[in-house]
Amino acid sequence: MSLEIFIKKKGEEIGFDKVAFARADSYLEHNALQNWLAQGCHGDMNYMEKNKTKRMNPKEVMPEAKSVITCALNYNTDYPYSIDCKNPNKGWIARYAWGEDYHIIIEEMLKSLQKAVLQLEPGTNCKIYVDTGPVMERVFAKHAGVGWIGKNTCIIDPKIGSWLFLGIILTNLELKEDPVIPDHCGKCTVCIDACPTQAITQPYKIDARRCISYLTIEHKGEIEPELARKMGNNIFGCDICQDVCPWNKKAPKTELPAFQPRNGFFNPDLKELRQKVLENYPQDFKNSPLKRPKRDGLIRNIEIASNNALMI
Ligand code: B12
Ligand code: SF4
Ligand code: SF4
């Protein structure tokens, strides 16, 4: 069995939906970061600027790196889309955040894969990332053929859709790269038209400062009234540009217990959630992505959604 097949089989046994390989190179898409940062599209995500040159070149992260093992995990559970849940008195938490924090789940899975690789090839160098360091995971996912980068900037697999988490292992192993999947967006602009804040300023480009996901999760402090109004009932993250994507219409569902909604996290009543945050934060939010904006950020978001509900 070739090393490539061994790693793919192991990855699938561990539970990944897709495992594919790219060369550990600097690709054309890496350059998009330069302009994006220069235009301030990262808002106050200073970490995006800090290791800019590393982010754009995996050899700066790991000089001996030859390949990137790119892993994808489906998090789509059998629950409706936000565009079909329009009660303004109920908040929308993004699909990815209903269950356990994916960083924890995927890091463990990547560690198991790394262990299997090391058993077969002792002395191999590996570095694991799942949104935890200066690497652009989607660029490798594209070049490993996990999917294409859609106009909404998400990686889309033609069979699974875009409800995918990504994790990578940089390694000094020489692995044959997988073929790239061509862009299937064609003339479609559904995601661009559906974005309530016009955050997709042009195909394949998001100005995070306008993106509800950024505003509700990463941005600290006040949210501009014009954008706050457009947030609707979104209180943590945003799924709209993926909900409307035709490639997600028949997206398969995962049975993984870790990603099933915790009690009270699927389309919660705004008043009840506010109470829960005030009374049970942080204990009820342990290992949940919802911890990121902290108590004050969650309350700010719930208040914005409550005000938006009053205006309807
Ligand atoms: C910063 C960040 C954000 C920011 C900025 C988003 C953004 N589009 O950059 C905010 C907070 C808004 C965000 C939101 C979300 N995020 Co986020 N985020 C990241 C992070 C940390 C870095 C992304 C990055 O490098 N951005 C910089 C810009 C320059 O890159 P980009 O938008 O990806 O741009 C690419 C394209 O524009 C392309 N490109 C440029 N020009 C052209 C031209 C053509 C023709 C083509 C084809 C492509 C192309 O190249 C660029 C480089 O990849 C990654 C993890 C990581 N370390 O990679 C996760 C990550 C991208 N996020 C992820 C997720 C799940 C989300 C959300 C779905 C969460 C939610 N529901 O709220 C949303 C989705 C919003 C969206 N439509 O992208 C997943 C994406 C999985 C996937 N299937 O793609 C990642 C990979 C995390 C993970 N490990 O799973 N995120
Ligand atoms: S996540 Fe929401 S706000 Fe951000 S680009 Fe997509 S639709 Fe627009
Ligand atoms: S909605 Fe259309 S344009 Fe947007 S990512 Fe999906 S297929 Fe591409």
DSSP string, 236-297: E---HHHHT-GGGTTPPPP--GGGSPPTTTSS-BHHHHHHHHHHHTTGGGTT-GGGTTHHHH
pLDDT for the residue numbered 1: 86
Strands of the chain, DSSP E? 18-23, 67-74, 92-93, 126-129, 148-149, 155-156, 164-171, 200-202, 205-206, 234-236
Query: Does residue 20's CB lie within 6 angstroms of at least one atom of ligand 2?
Result: no
Query: Does residue 152's CB lie within 6 angstroms of at least one atom of ligand 3?
Result: yes
Cβ–Cβ < 8 Å for 181, 239:
no
Both tokens assigned to 217: 């999760």
Give 56 Cα–ligand 1 centroid separation in angstroms: 14
- Share above pLDDT 70 across residues of the chain, in percent, rounded to a whole number: 100
Partner residues linked to 236 by β-bridges: 93
Query: Does residue 117's CB lie within 6 angstroms of at least one atom of ligand 3?
Result: no
Cis ω for the linkage preceding 282 (within 30 of 0): yes
Closest C-alpha to ligand 3, atom 4: 191
Q: How far apart are CA 287 and CA 290, in angstroms?
A: 8
- Per-residue pLDDT, averaged over 52-69, amounts to 98
Sign of CA dihedral 197, 93, 245, 14: positive
Give 225 Cα–ligand 2 centroid separation in angstroms: 17
Ligand 1 neighbours, Cβ below 6 Å, are: 29, 32-33, 36, 45, 48, 94, 96, 130-131, 135-139, 149, 152-155, 162, 164-166, 183, 204-206, 208, 211, 213-214, 217-218, 237-239, 241
Both tokens assigned to 10: 């192991």
Q: Is 139 exposed, middle or buried (0-12, 13-18, 19+ CB in 10 A)?
A: buried
pLDDT for the residue numbered 70: 98
Cβ–Cβ < 8 Å for 69, 21:
yes
Inform me whether the pLDDT recorded for 312 exceeds 90.
no
Q: List pLDDT tens digits, range 93-132.
A: 999 999 999 999 999 999 999 999 999 999 999 999 999 9
CA-based nearest residue to 22, from 71, 56, 60: 71
Mutate to test the pocket of ligand 2, among 149, 190, 197, 244 (most ligand atoms within 8 A of CB): 197
Cβ–Cβ < 8 Å for 197, 229:
no
Cβ–Cβ < 8 Å for 283, 218:
no
Q: Which ligand is nearest to the CA of 210?
A: 2
Q: Which ligand is nearest to the CA of 209?
A: 1
Give 152 Cα–ligand 1 centroid separation in angstroms: 9
Residue 131 catalytic? yes
pLDDT for the residue numbered 280: 95
Q: Which ligand is nearest to the CA of 196?
A: 2
Q: How far apart are CA 42 and CA 50, in angstroms?
A: 12
The active-site residue out of 44, 131, 269, 284 is 131
CA-based nearest residue to 20, from 66, 73, 74, 71: 71
- Per-residue pLDDT, averaged over 157-182, amounts to 98
pLDDT for the residue numbered 307: 98
CA-based nearest residue to 11, from 151, 161, 146, 153: 146
- Share above pLDDT 90 across residues of the chain, in percent, rounded to a whole number: 99
Q: Which residue has the tokens 């220069």?
A: 38
Pairing of strands 92-93, 234-236: parallel
Q: List pLDDT tens digits, range 186-199.
A: 999 999 999 999 99
Cβ–Cβ < 8 Å for 102, 110:
no
Q: How far apart are CA 260 and CA 96, in angstroms?
A: 10
Query: Does residue 203's CB lie within 6 angstroms of at least one atom of ligand 3?
Result: no
Give 200 Cα–ligand 1 centroid separation in angstroms: 12
pLDDT for the residue numbered 168: 98
Residue spans per domain, the chain: 3-81+96-171, 190-310
Inform me whether the pLDDT recorded for 263 exceeds 90.
yes
